A and B are shown apart, each in its own frame.
Chain A
Amino acid sequence: MKSQAPATVDIGEYQHGFHFPDESVFKTRKGLDEEVVNAISHAKGEPEWMRQFRLRSLRAFQKKSMPNWGADLSDINFDELYYYAKPTDEQKKSWDDVPAYIKETFERIGIPEAERKFLAGVGAQYDSEVVYHSIKEDLAKKGVIFTDPETAVREHPDIVKQYFGTVIPYLDNKFAALNSAVWSGGSFVYVPKGVKVDVPLQAYFRINARSFGQFERTLIIADEGSFVHYIEGCTAPIYATESLHSAVVEIIALPGSRVRYTTIQNWSNDVYNLVTKRAMAYKDATVEWVDGNIGSKRTMKYPSIYLMGEGAHGEVLSIAFAGKGQEQDTGGKAVHAASHTSSIITAKSISRAGGVASYRGLLKVNEGLHDVRSRVVCDALILDERSRSNTYPYMEINSDRVSIEHEARVSKISEEQLFYLQSRGMSEQEASLMIVNGFLDPLVKQLPMEYAVELNRLIELEMAGTVG
C-alpha cells in the first residue's frame, strides 16, 4: 500500500486576509494636522482637556525625529495615511445589535467561539470604535470597569486624568506622541482594591480600512491587592499599501497587585507594528507581559516594567516569528528603581525564509540599590541560510549588590534533527514544525490553552509556506 503524506495546510495567501467593503460612516482625510486632530476630538465629543492633550501630542510628534535604530521605517509616509475612521454610529451592547458584516468578520476570526468558552467581557475593536462590548454582571458588581477609553473619558474622568499618559508621556517617543494625538479605541480597565478577576478579560483588534493607521490606547489600573489578566489578540486583513499600527499600553500595578497582559499578534505582512507598552509595578506588585508577534512587515515592541517599590517583580516573555520580508525587532525592558526587586526576561525568536528577528533589551538598575535580581535569556532559532537573528542586550547596572544573569543562544535546525525525526516517519515539513514547536514549548505552556492552540495553528500556517 502506498504510504500517504500527512495533510498539510496549504495557504496560497494570508488566511485572515479577507476583507469586506469599507463601510466607515465617518473618516478623516489623508494626512495629519491640527484640523484632523480637532475633527477626531470633535467626532468623539471629548472634553476640552483631552483635545488639548491631543494637540500638545501632535506638536511633539511633529518635532520628534524617527528612531535611528531598530527596524527600517523609511517606507512610512505619514501624509498618505488615514488617521481615523468610525465604522458605526452607535456603541452596541449586545451581539444581536452588531451589524451582520462585522459579525461575519468576527466569526471568521473566531470571536463567538472564544466568547462561549471563557469570556468575562469582550471589547472587540473594529476599525477605531468599539462596536461590541459586554461585561459579565458579576464583574460589574465587583466594581470592575472594562470599557473603551472614550467611555472612560466621559464616565470616569477622575481616574483617567489621574493615570492617562503618566506611564508613557506623550513626549516619550515619536510613536507614543502620534498615538497620544490620534488615539482611538482600545481598552480601559480598572480593578478595585482586593478584587481578583478570575477569568481573563480579552479584546480583539482588527484593522479594516485601507491605508488606515490604528492607534488604540489601553490603560489598565490594578488597585491595591487586586489581580487581572488581560488578553489582546489581533488579526488584520491583507492590503497592498502599508498600514500603520501604533498602540500605547499603560499598566499601573498598585501595591500588592498582579497584572498579566497577554498578546498574540498576527498582523498581515504589510503592517508596521510600532507599539509602546510599559508598566509601573509598585511595592510587592507583579507585572507579567506575554508578547507573541507573528506577521507584520516591521514590528518594534519592547514591553517594559518599571519596578518602583520593594518586593516588585516583573516578567517579560517574548515570542517572535519572522517570516519572508519580515523584521521582528522585539524584546523587553526592566528598570529596577527599588531594592528587593526582581525581573526575568525570556525571549524566543524564530526566523525563516529571509526573515530577521532581533532581540533588543534593556536591563537597568538604578544607583544605591541592593538585593536586586535579574535574569535575561534569549534563544533564537534560525530555520535556513537566508534568515537572520540579532541580539542587542543593553545593561546599565549602577549598583553593586545585584545578581544578574544573562544567557543568549542562537541555534539552527540541524540536518541531524530533521533526519532523526524523518527516520521515524515524519515528513521534512512536519519534522521542522515539531522542532519549532518544541523550541517554543516552554513559552507556549505559559499561555491560556486557547491561545496556545491559536499560536500553534498560526505557526503551522506560517511554516506551511516554507516548502516550495
Chain B
Amino acid sequence: MARLIQVRNLQASIAGKPILMGLDLDIPVGQIHALMGPNGSGKSTLANVLMGHPAYTVTGGTITLDGEDFLALTPDERSRKGVFLAFQYPVEIPGVTVGKFLKRAAEIRLDGKGMDVTGFIRRLRQAMDFMEIDQAFINRYLNQGFSGGEKKRMEILQMLILEPSFAVLDETDSGLDIDALKVVAKGVNRLRGEGFGALIITHYQRILTHIVPDFVHIMYKGRIVTSGGKDLVETLENRGYDWIRSEYGIEEDVHEVASAGNR
C-alpha cells in the first residue's frame, strides 16, 4: 500500500481559540499538494498540528498515517515515521553546530542501522553545495545569526539530508528574493518522486511556478473550501483572495479576516 497522510474533520485550537474547523485533506506519497489561503485562515496551524506542536490542542477529528493514528505520536515519533516540517520561523539553537545537529538527526533517521560518518559528511557537503550554502556553516551554531534566506535554505538542507516521505513547507517562500526562492524550489524538486509527498503552504503563487503542484487546495476560516489542479493557482492569481472571501465568506467575516491580516 502506498503511504498516505489522511486528515479527517480536523478541529484544533490554540489558547482556547478555535482555528481549524473541520478540515479534510489527503496527501498520498508521490504527490505535491499546495495549500493556499489568506492570512489567518489556519494554514500554519495545520502545519504545526501535523507535526504535534504542544501549544495546539486537537479538539476533534483524526489524522492517520498509513491508516494508523498519527495524533497519538510525539513530535519526535512523527519525525521518525518520515514526516518533516520546514518551519516558517526556524529557532536559533545556540552552541549546537549545524554539523553536530545534522549528524545526530541523520543518525536517528537511520534508526540504529549504524552510520558511515565519512559518507555522511560527503553527502552533507554535496547537499550544501546544491543548496548554495557556504561550507563554513557546518561549524556555525544552528540558525544563530542566519539571515531569513539562510534559515530557509537550512530548512531545505535538513530536508535533503533526512529524506522524509512527507514534507510540510510552512511558508518557506515568504520573505525570499527570487534567487533564494529558486534554490529552495530546486531542493524540493530534487526529492520529488514516487517516495516523496509534500504539502507546500504559501500565501503567494510565486513559488508554485517553480514547484508545480499536482493539486491545489484553498483554505479559508479553518476549512478547505475548494480544491483543484494547478489551474486553480491561476484563477487565484487573476481574481485574488477577495474572490474566496466573497465566494465562501459572509460580510462580517471579511472584516474579521482583514483585521487578522493587519496584525
Which residues of A line the B interface, CB within 8 A?
1, 3-4, 6, 414-417, 419-428, 431, 434-435, 437-442
Contact = CB atoms under 8 A, between A and B. Distances in A.
A4 B109 CA distance: 11
A314 B53 CA distance: 46
Given A6-B108, A441-B96, A424 B91 contact: no
A4 B112 contact: yes
Contact of B105 (A415, A424, A439, A440): A424
Most B CB within 10 A of own CB, among A3, A423, A431, A439: A423
28 contacts: A3-B111, A4-B111, A4-B112, A415-B54, A417-B91, A417-B93, A419-B51, A419-B52, A419-B53, A419-B54, A423-B51, A423-B78, A423-B79, A424-B101, A424-B108, A424-B158, A425-B108, A426-B76, A426-B105, A427-B76, A428-B74, A434-B93, A434-B96, A434-B104, A437-B95, A437-B96, A438-B94, A438-B96
A420 B54 contact: no
B169 interface: no
B77 interface: yes
A439 B112 CA distance: 27
B165 to A, nearest CB: 13
B195 interface: no
A376 B36 CA distance: 50
Nearest to A414: B91
Contact of A420 (B74, B78, B87, B162): B87
A5 to B, nearest CB: 8
A418 to B, nearest CB: 8
> Which 3 residue pairs spanning A and B have beta carbons closest together?
A438-B95, A441-B95, A425-B108
B55 interface: yes
B81 interface: yes
A420 B93 contact: yes
Contacts, number: 81
B81 A3 contact: yes
A419 B104 contact: no
Interface in B74-118: 74-81, 84-85, 87, 90-91, 93-96, 101, 104-105, 108-109, 111-112
A414 B53 CA distance: 12
Nearest to B80: A3
Nearest to A421: B93
B108 A426 contact: yes
Contacts of A1: 111
A78 B16 CA distance: 56
B141 interface: yes
Nearest to A5: B76
Contacts of A438: 93-96, 141
Most buried by B among A1, A4, A425: A425
Contacts of A422: 52, 74-76, 79
A440 B79 contact: no
Nearest to A444: B95
Interface centre among B76, B87, B93, B105 (most CB of A within 10 A): B76
A425 B93 contact: no
Contacts of A420: 87, 90-91, 93
A423 B96 contact: no
Contacts of A428: 74, 76
Nearest to A427: B76
Nearest to B87: A420
Contact of B95 (A3, A421, A423, A440): A440
Contacts of A424: 76, 79, 101, 105, 108, 158, 162
A42 to B, nearest CB: 53
A66 B81 CA distance: 59
Interface string B54-84: 1100000000000000000011111111001
Contacts of A421: 93, 101
B75 A435 contact: no
B228 to A, nearest CB: 30
A424 B158 CA distance: 9
Nearest to B84: A423
A427 B93 CA distance: 16
A439 B85 contact: no
Contacts of B101: 421, 424, 434
Interface in B135-186: 141, 158, 162
B146 to A, nearest CB: 13
Contacts of A4: 111-112
Given A426-B104, A441-B96, A415 B55 contact: yes
A435 B93 contact: yes
A375 B55 CA distance: 39
B74 A439 contact: no
